[in-house]
Amino acid sequence: MSLIESLSANLPKLLDGLETTLLLTGLGAALAAVFSPGLALIRLGGPTPAKVLLRIYISFMRGTPLLAQLFLVFYGSGQFRAELTALGLWSFFRDPFNCAVLVFVLNSCAYQTEILRGGLQAVPPGEIEAARAIGMTRAQVLARVTFPHAYRIAWPALGNEVILLMKASALASIVTVFDLMGRTRQIFSRSFEFSVYFEAAALYLLITVVFVFLWRQIERRLTRPMRRTQGN
């Protein structure tokens, strides 16, 4: 079979897998992004017990393999089936896709929190003072000055985190999620057609390239004010 024929035969399944990969990554990164600003604030100025808990959580998430975390939730939840059923949560944990999303949210949130913490710490204190001096409330200072600035600083690192998460999402195939990697393995196990791995790699590369391009466009817009020459 030629490469073209093989690709056109495999493409529907691979695209289905690609959709799952995008969904997995997108949900994981987006939900993590909802929680990371609040956690970053706690990390910097929250009450001590909350700070300690947060540090433990972050060290655990960053210090253990993502695959181990996936196993922990996917196989671990099976051990507590009775309890989870009683709580009405079993139907959530029964689906490997849900388990994977949960793990990705928890994992990415730890990284995003740390990235954002760095961004927050790099906001020029004078700009925050100017906002306070004009009579803004604390919430206004955060919304109008601190976070807009912190996100501009953190933007490239956050993009990097999303790319890493996207590639790491291939691990979900090991807990039986049919993402792009899962579909690829499925096709290979039936046909022993090695080229399907190249096709999968090309698709991963394609979405990364598109993502990097889009992310950089946004970055250019965000950081335009900071550049001395504002031609672009």
Partner 1 sequence: MPPKTATDLVLSAQDIHKSFGAQEVLKGITLGARNHDVISILGTSGSGKSTFLRCLNCLEIPNSGSVAVHGEEIVFRNGRIGDQRQIERMRRHLGMVFQQFNLWTHRTALENVMEGPVQVKRMAKPEARDLAEALLARVGLADRMHHYPAMLSGGQQQRVAIARALAMEPDVILFDEPTSALDPELVGEVLKVMQDLAAEGRTMIVVTHEMAFARDVSTEVVFLNEGRIAEQGPPDKLFDHPETEVFARFISKTRRDIA
Closer to partner 1 by CB, 64 or 121: give it.
121
Give backbone dihedrals phi and psi of 171, rounded to 5 degrees, phi first. -60, -25
Closest approach of Cβ 201 to partner 1, in Å? 39
User: How many CB atoms sit inside 10 A of residue 47's CB?
Assistant: 8
Closest approach of Cβ 141 to partner 1, in Å? 10
Give backbone dihedrals phi and psi of 87, rounded to 5 degrees, phi first. -85, -5
Give backbone dihedrals phi and psi of 65, rounded to 5 degrees, phi first. -65, 145
- Which among 147-155, 173-181, 199-207, 211-219 is the span making contact with partner 1, rule CB under 8 A? 147-155
- Which among 82-90, 142-150, 178-186, 204-212 is the span making contact with partner 1, rule CB under 8 A? 142-150
Closer to partner 1 by CB, 2 or 232: give it.
232
Closest approach of Cβ 26 to partner 1, in Å? 27
Run of H or E residues at 222? helix 195-223
Look up residue 81 and give its amino acid.
R
Which residue is associated with the tokens 């807009």?
148
Write out the residues near partner 1 by the rule CB under 8 A: 124, 126-127, 129-138, 140, 144-145, 148-149, 152, 224-228, 230
